Amino acid sequence: MYATRPEARPATVEVFVDGVAVRVPAGASAAAAVLLAGSAAIRETAVTGAPRLPYCMMGVCFDCLAEVDGAANVQACMVPVVAGMRISRQAGARDALMPEAGR
Amino acid sequence: MSAPEPFQAIVVGGGLVGSAIAWGLAREGLRCVLLDEGDIAFRASRGNFGLVWAQSKGQGAPHYQRWTRYSANAWPELAQELAAAVGADVGLHQPGGVHLCLSDKEMADRSDRMAQMAREAGNSLPFHYRMIEAAELREMLPALGPSVVGASFTPYDGHVDPLRLLHALHRAFTSAGGVYVPNAKVERSNAAPHDFRVFAAGRVFEAPRVVLAAGLGNAALAPEFGLSAPVRPQQGQVLVTERVAPIFTMPTTSVRQTMQGSLLLGDSVAEVGYDISQKPAVMAEIAKRAVLSFPFIARLNIVRAWSALRIMPKDGVAIYDQSERFPGAYTANCHSGVTLAGAHARLLAPMIAAGQLDGMMDSFSARRFDVRDAA
Amino acid sequence: MSFDLAVIGAGPAGMAAAVEARALGLAVLVVDEQPAPGGQVFRSVEAAHGDAVLGAEYSAGLGLVESFRRSGATYRPGTTLWHLDPDSGEMSLTPGGPAVARRVLLATGAQERPVPILGWTLPGVMGMGAAQIMLKTAGAVPSGQVVLAGQGPLLWLLAAQLKRAGAAPALILETTPKGRLAAAFRAGGWFSGRGLLLKGLGLLRETRGLPVVRAVTGLRAEGEGRVQRVVWDGGSADCDTLLLHEGVVPATHIPLALGLEHAWDVRQQCWRPVVDVHGASSHDRVAVAGDGAGIGGWQAAVASGQLAALDAAHRLGRLTAEGLAQRAAPVRRMQAEALALRPFLDALYAPSAAVLAPPDDQVLVCRCEEVTAGQVRAAARLGAQGPNQAKTFLRSGMGACQGRMCGATVARIIAESRGVTPETVAPLRPRAPYKPLTVAQLAGL
Ligand SMILES: Cc1cc2nc3c(=O)[nH]c(=O)nc-3n(C[C@H](O)[C@H](O)[C@H](O)COP(=O)(O)OP(=O)(O)OC[C@H]3O[C@@H](n4cnc5c(N)ncnc54)[C@H](O)[C@@H]3O)c2cc1C
Ligand code: FES
């Protein structure tokens, strides 16, 4: 659970986390958006289906793998948000044959 | 130096070949020690593609084709006995396999090759294959790319998890009373007929049998036992994608889906000596071919890649020998340690335990090189 | 594209190196996977320097970023190095095409030392560095019951920053054992490093009044589907966010993949690349600067970056030996000053044995492939001599993080099981790609 501090960094960018609109400050990563949205998980592991949220936020742990704008297993802490970005939970192993949205 | 430790067999090399033979010997009831290097070594057993593959082995060498087929046949029993011994699931899946052809020329060459294999097989163990045209192939494999013109198919092929296999062989060997000694690179040895001493890890091991299965290390070890093992390193690079939900029902020679869900993309061939550096240009070629075969692969993430050394006998065909000068000393050298694990554990090991290589093994002797070199 | 010097990483070390090298007339490429310069310590400083909560030291990073921006170095942000051929100097970069450099400086910094405890994979458990990155990049603070557990300067810095932001942690669990302070004073350096020490004391003063439990052991996180409780020997507390920290370690992924010579750092209990006074590694094209060559903090990183740039200029014939000696002398004095407090800090905050090798067999050490400490111990009993063999047996280190999170822990557990010292067990050997990339990117499609 995280909260923004609008007095320091106004939340100006609207993104969608699991379909729900969230406003986050410019410069935040997609992983930060998921934390700010209060999601229960950003991914479920491919091994046991365990829920995870970002752990390191600096590109080391890969626990922030999510679907970003239709691309699967994106390291969400390394991707800055842009308006309209769609971030959704990576549920286990990806479906390789599913065509990517917008591509 | 500590006192000699007596065993009934010493196996040198804890890779797939040595471990399969050691497990086979232990199962035959021999008290056996397996000497291995440490955490870092040239290990084809850690870097291979995991195919149990008969369809392209032994072209021009019918005995090798036969041996490979025997091994493919023995594989289900090996998998079962490893499951029974230590509860291991090595992920054997033998639904047959295909080699994809990306041009008419590739298709024609492949067809010739398969025909030759069938001719050389003769009638005792016939070689059944099919050349499959693109339309039919598309029913068998999803999302095949437009560049694929067809494939060869044989029903003998399959794949395993080679790392689970190695682990399972080690566990089975140990549970059968075998002694595994890591960090035990052979320092020196004494050889006499049916009487061998091997010095390693500050210890001395003594046995009437010694099996050299040290991969590329065999080239240097073999002469000490009156044997010869002309093998060279041949580099191969492999790419691994993230896990994806199951899509492939059978392996191909260049793309297969592991039991964990990753796709393995491979594998390249380069004669560069003892060099395991990765080359982006080679990696790109592997990636391109995979995408031509299955365009959806372009979207997947590569999470790992590696470069490893195959153990390549001079003429590509396996070498098995018992020393004439020092009977009781054997070598086993081959490229396809996964495919041949069935034969090594279930056919070769019993011969070594009995003290005599079967007559059908004569053609595998390294003496073939002397004859040829003399001619 | 061909350059005299390629710098991987735009943190303090990389930025300082680029500025120095440009001043000496070198053609410089700087690559960083982050969208903006600053590295970890000055993450987002261009956007966030006005946020008083972060403190004056953070804002000071702006000057460094500005001089880097002005330096004339070719800067490729948002770009990852996934392969380097040290012999040819060819770099594979994504996105975008490859580049070549006559000299390569790895300034890839540090990562937080993994803190493998029971429950550390539960949602809501994070590194303290991660929380700080939330603060720097999004101005965001954790809400609800926040517990800080671990030790090190970052703990007190973060506690102070959160307090300033009106989000003071509910509880601090400090893992530093009793009696360490005396040991730290014996290690020395505190007098010449008194400037930094005073800063630290300032943070302690600022955070006075926050509830602290000291000398905590047996830490674990519990909860259904997310962390709900933190438990330690003799206590427990409700918790919505648990932030862990046991210091930082050099990011050795690329240096190890390149096969550079490494040495075991006893004080910091980690591997680091062997470098000379100018940061030159065992490969004659490659240098390492900043925390990647050994943890020293940002001021030491700046100095080591400058030294590496001077050395590059000298090797490329742009600076005489005398010129190098003359210019390096004051930088080395600065570096020594910045490093003075290190022995004190390393002694004070040495990680406990339980952090390095969790004694509880149930602890997941490999987060990606979900491998437990017990499985690693079993593999060691079967003869696995190091993390590379354990990887093939257990898949530890085969997941997306490529062993960044588990490699050191697995090696340590094996060392313990074998009864040998940690430096006997060679580290996990990473391979390219250093970070995952798509097949299309790799194919150049
Ligand atoms: C979370 C955290 C908080 C810290 N807080 C403080 C503090 O408050 N005060 C203090 O003095 N020290 C702090 N430190 C230590 C401080 O960050 C370092 O001393 C300093 O940043 C070292 O500088 P550097 O240039 O070596 O590395 P970094 O600042 O880490 O910069 C390395 C850069 O390399 C990039 N990179 C890495 N791999 C690749 C690749 N393959 N391709 C492209 N780019 C790559 C990264 O994106 C990063 O931007 C902290 C460290 C961490 C991890
Ligand atoms: S949160 Fe660790 S890699 Fe993104």
Q: Is B298 on the interface with A (CB under 8 A)?
A: no
**How many contacts (CB atoms, under 8 Å) link B and C?**
110
Contact C281, C107 (CB under 8 A): no
Separation CA C308–CA C319 (nearest Å): 13
Closest listed ligand to the CA of C75: 1
For residue B373, give both structure tokens: 């070199």
Closest CA to A68 of A59, A77, A57: A77
Task: Tell me if B247 and A46 make a contact (CB, 8 A cut-off).
Answer: no
Backbone angles phi, psi at C87, to 5 degrees: -70, -35
Ligand 2 centroid – CA C244 distance (Å): 15
Residues of C within 8 A of B265 (CB-CB) are 439
Query: Residue C24, SS3?
Result: coil
Separation CA B235–CA C175 (nearest Å): 49
CATH fold group of domain C2-111+249-319: FAD/NAD(P)-binding domain (3.50.50)
Q: Which residues line ligand 2 (CB under 6 A)?
A: A 31, 54-57, 59-64, 75, 77
Interface test with B, best of A97, A98, A100 (most B CBs within 10 A): A97
C-alpha triplet B185, B186, B192: angle, nearest 5°:
160
Residues of B within 8 A of C387 (CB-CB) are 39
Alpha-carbon Rg for chain B in angstroms: 21
Structural domain includes residue A39:
yes
Please report the ipTM that was assigned to this predicted complex. Answer: 0.95
Separation CA C94–CA C82 (nearest Å): 7
Tell me how close the Cα of A97 comes to any Cα of chain B, in angstroms. 6
Closest listed ligand to the CA of C402: 2
Residues 6+ apart with CB under 8 A from C242: C124, C125, C126, C147, C149, C221, C227, C230
Q: Share the mean pLDDT of chain C.
A: 96
A28 HSE (CA, 13 A, CB side): 33
Contact A43, A50 (CB under 8 A): no
Q: Is the CB of C157 under 6 A from ligand 1?
A: yes
* pLDDT tens digits along B29-84: 999 999 999 877 777 778 889 999 999 899 999 999 999 999 999 999 999 999 99
Quick check: A99 pLDDT over 80?
A: no
What is the pLDDT confidence band of residue B267, given thresholds at 50, 70 and 90?
Answer: confident
Atom in ligand 1 nearest the alpha carbon of residue C304: 26
The residue whose two tokens read 């008969």 is B54
> Other CB atoms closer than 10 Å to residue B68's CB: what's the count?
26
Q: Any idea what the CATH number is for the domain that residue A69 is in?
A: 3.10.20.440
Q: Whose CA is nearest to atom 41 of ligand 1?
A: C81
What is the pLDDT confidence band of residue A102, given thresholds at 50, 70 and 90?
Answer: very low
* pLDDT tens digits along B129-139: 999 999 999 99
Separation CA C435–CA C12 (nearest Å): 22
Structural domain includes residue A56:
yes
Q: Which residue of A has its CA nearest to C366?
A: A61
Tell me how close the Cα of B294 comes to any Cα of chain A, in angstroms. 10
Closest listed ligand to the CA of A31: 2
Structural domain includes residue A77:
yes
Predicted local confidence at residue B370, as pLDDT: 84
Strands B203-207 and C212-213 turn out to be unpaired
Structural domain includes residue A79:
yes
What string of H, E and C letters represents the secondary structure of C293-316?
HCCCCHHHHHHHHHHHHHHHHHHC
Closest CA to C367 of A54, B331, B150, B293: A54
Burial-class residue B188 by CB neighbours within 10 Å (0-12, 13-18, 19+): exposed
What is the pLDDT confidence band of residue B375, given thresholds at 50, 70 and 90?
Answer: very low
Residues of B within 8 A of A96 (CB-CB) are 244-245, 247, 263, 296-297, 299-300
Atom in ligand 2 nearest the alpha carbon of residue A61: 2
Contact B248, B98 (CB under 8 A): no
Separation CA C339–CA A21 (nearest Å): 47
Helix (H) or strand (E) holding C438: strand C437-438
What is the pLDDT confidence band of residue A101, given thresholds at 50, 70 and 90?
Answer: very low
CA distance to B42, B186, C379, C413, per residue, from B13 (Å): 11, 9, 18, 25
> Other CB atoms closer than 10 Å to residue C27's CB: what's the count?
18
Chain CA centroid to CA C52, Å? 25
Strands C99-106 and C110-112 turn out to be unpaired
Mean pLDDT of B193-214: 97
Quick check: B98 pLDDT over 80?
A: yes
Closest CA to B223 of B212, B207, B234, B209: B212
Residues 6+ apart with CB under 8 A from B226: B191, B323, B324, B325, B326, B329
Contact C241, C144 (CB under 8 A): yes
Q: Share the mean pLDDT of chain B.
A: 94
Predicted local confidence at residue A103, as pLDDT: 35
CA distance to A50, B16, B92, B261, per residue, from B256 (Å): 26, 20, 13, 9
Quick check: B97 pLDDT over 50?
A: yes
At residue C61, what is the residue type? G
Chain CA centroid to CA A51, Å? 14
* pLDDT tens digits along A57-94: 999 999 999 999 999 999 999 999 999 999 999 998 88
Separation CA C44–CA C37 (nearest Å): 7
CATH fold group of domain C357-424: Arc Repressor Mutant, subunit A (1.10.10)
Closest listed ligand to the CA of C77: 1
Q: Is the CB of C292 under 6 A from ligand 1?
A: yes
Quick check: B158 pLDDT over 90?
A: yes
CA atoms C438, C442, C444, C445: torsion sign: negative
Separation CA B311–CA C157 (nearest Å): 55
Separation CA C184–CA B161 (nearest Å): 50
Contact A87, A67 (CB under 8 A): yes
Angle between helices C373-382 and B162-175 (to 10 degrees): 60
Task: Tell me if C395 and B182 make a contact (CB, 8 A cut-off).
Answer: no
Predicted local confidence at residue B372, as pLDDT: 54
At residue B56, what is the residue type? S
Helix (H) or strand (E) holding C146: strand C146-151
Q: Which residue of B has its CA nearest to A103?
A: B299
Q: Which residue of B has its CA nearest to C426?
A: B39
Query: Residue C81, SS3?
Result: strand
Closest CA to C319 of C19, C18, C23, C17: C23
Q: Is B133 on the interface with A (CB under 8 A)?
A: no
Strands C2-8 and B329-333 turn out to be unpaired
Closest CA to B89 of B206, B204, B168, B177: B168
Structural domain includes residue A73:
yes
Separation CA C31–CA C169 (nearest Å): 36
Angle between helices C128-138 and A30-37 (to 10 degrees): 100
Chain CA centroid to CA B231, Å? 14
Tell me how close the Cα of B39 comes to any Cα of chain C, in angstroms. 5
Q: Whose CA is nearest to atom 33 of ligand 1?
A: C9
Task: Please name each of the domains of chain B with its CATH number.
Answer: 5-51+163-230+315-374 (3.50.50.60), 97-155 (no CATH), 232-313 (3.30.9.10)
Q: Is B284 on the interface with A (CB under 8 A)?
A: no
Concatenated DSSP letters for C4-21? EEEEE--SHHHHHHHHHH
DSSP C350: P
Residues 6+ apart with CB under 8 A from A99: none
The CATH superfamily holding the domain C114-246 is FAD/NAD(P)-binding domain (3.50.50.60)
Atom in ligand 2 nearest the alpha carbon of residue A60: 3
Contact B2, B204 (CB under 8 A): yes
For residue C387, give both structure tokens: 């993390």
Q: Is B296 on the interface with A (CB under 8 A)?
A: yes
What residue ranges in C357-403 does DSSP mark as E strands? 364-366, 371-372
Predicted local confidence at residue C189, as pLDDT: 85
For residue B218, give both structure tokens: 């065999």
Residues 6+ apart with CB under 8 A from B293: B100, B102, B144, B145, B147, B148, B252, B254, B255
Alpha-carbon Rg for chain A in angstroms: 13
What residue ranges in C45-199 does DSSP mark as E strands? 74-76, 80-85, 90-94, 99-106, 110-112, 125-127, 141-142, 146-151, 171-174
For residue C265, give both structure tokens: 């750092």
Interface test with C, best of A23, A24, A48, A60 (most C CBs within 10 A): A60
> Other CB atoms closer than 10 Å to residue B316's CB: what's the count?
15
Quick check: B374 pLDDT over 80?
A: no
Q: Is the CB of C248 under 6 A from ligand 1?
A: yes
> pTM, whole model, 2 decimals?
0.92
Domain that holds residue A22: 11-91
Q: How many domains, in total, are found in chain A? A: 1
For residue A14, give both structure tokens: 């609207």
Angle between helices C194-206 and C153-164 (to 10 degrees): 40
Low-confidence ranges of chain C (pLDDT < 70): none
Which residues make up the CATH 3.50.50.60 domain(s) of chain C? 2-111+249-319, 114-246
- Examine residue C95 and say whether the peptide bond preceding it is cis (omega within 30 degrees of 0): yes
* pLDDT tens digits along C224-263: 999 999 999 999 999 999 999 999 999 999 999 999 999 9
